[in-house]
């Protein structure tokens, strides 16, 4: 499997990755393409896609700072789900000395429970920390999410560092930033 950072100038691959991104996440939880393109120029943002024999396997967009990686998006091509590719992408992400942090939706249905179980099988731990994620689009609503971490549960201080990074860096690439300070 080959991991590639796709540039917008590579139209064929860019379009395949973008189509997977748009079909895998609810509209309020994803960036507009212009905001994503801006994020791609940030040296702390890693918008990777996985390919095998010219076929798109999946995408993994993450942020890296200090000794942390924040997995913002993970998606596998629909026809390839259930074949271990998601686990392979997570192994690639975990193959470092970084603490990995990600969030999932609250456990409100079978899909959200299965998602938690997938990450737990991969070694992630559900933390007691929650946060309200601001929408990436003006028409979206804030969403309360659960936090998972790897290789062990993060501390409250690490959680605060994560929130600080989100508030200073990730938010820069949301529609309408800067938001009015309240």
- Walk along the chain (182 residues) in steps of 10 and give the mean pLDDT of each run: 93 97 90 93 97 97 97 97 96 96 94 95 95 83 92 97 94 74 38
Cis (ω within 30 of 0) for the bond into 76? no
pLDDT at 28: 81
pLDDT digits (tens, 9 = 90+) for 20-45: 999 999 888 899 999 999 999 999 99
pLDDT digits (tens, 9 = 90+) for 70-91: 999 999 999 999 999 999 999 9
3-state DSSP assignment of residue 21? helix
Residue 17 tokens read as 């990755």
């Amino acid at each position: 499997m080959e991991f590639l950072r796709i540039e917008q100038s590579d139209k064929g691959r860019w379009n395949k990755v973008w189509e997977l991104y748009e079909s895998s996440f609810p509209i309020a939880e994803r960036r507009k393409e212009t905001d994503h393109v801006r994020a791609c120029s940030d040296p702390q943002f890693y918008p990777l896609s996985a390919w095998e024999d010219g076929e798109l396997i999946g995408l993994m967009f993450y942020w890296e700072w200090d000794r942390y990686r924040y997995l913002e998006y993970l998606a596998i091509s629909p026809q390839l789900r259930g074949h271990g590719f998601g686990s392979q992408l997570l192994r690639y992400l975990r193959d470092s000395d970084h603490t990995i942090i990600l969030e999932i939706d609250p456990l409100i249905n079978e899909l959200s429970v299965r998602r938690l179980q997938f990450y737990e099988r991969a070694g992630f731990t559900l933390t007691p920390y929650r946060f309200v994620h601001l929408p990436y689009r003006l028409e979206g609503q804030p969403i309360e999410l659960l936090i998972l971490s790897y290789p062990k549960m993060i501390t409250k201080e690490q959680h605060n560092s994560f929130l600080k990074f989100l508030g200073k860096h990730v938010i820069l690439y949301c529609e309408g930033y800067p938001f009015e300070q309240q």
